[in-house]
Amino acid sequence: MFKYQYKVSDNVGNQTTYTSANVVKVDTVNPANGLALSSITPAGSASLSGTTVFYRGSGGGSGGSFTVTNTVTDNGFGPVFSTFDSLDGTTTGWTFTGSTV
């Protein structure tokens, strides 16, 4: 925790120093996250390795789905948001627009 001071000067050189009664807290702890897959259909068709999701599909173009959950923790001030990038690496019509939640 830090207290801060600031100096104010006018155009003829008069100067005053103010000390804030406020305390500034500095968060030095990086947030951590844990990705998980759920609601996978058909069962066993998707897997997660690190930050990469692999989807095998169901064949025949009948589609499927899964849910990606990102659990974010921060021991400093608490997590503010989680960002998901847009989907890439697909040639089969899957789409996902990136989002921040």
- Residue 9 clears pLDDT 80, i.e. is over it: yes
pLDDT value of position 92: 65
Contact 83, 74 (CB under 8 A): no
Confidence category of residue 49, pLDDT binned at 50, 70, 90: very high
pLDDT of residue 76: 74
Q: How many CB atoms lie within 10 A of CB 46?
A: 21
Q: Between 91 and 32, name the one with better pLDDT.
A: 32
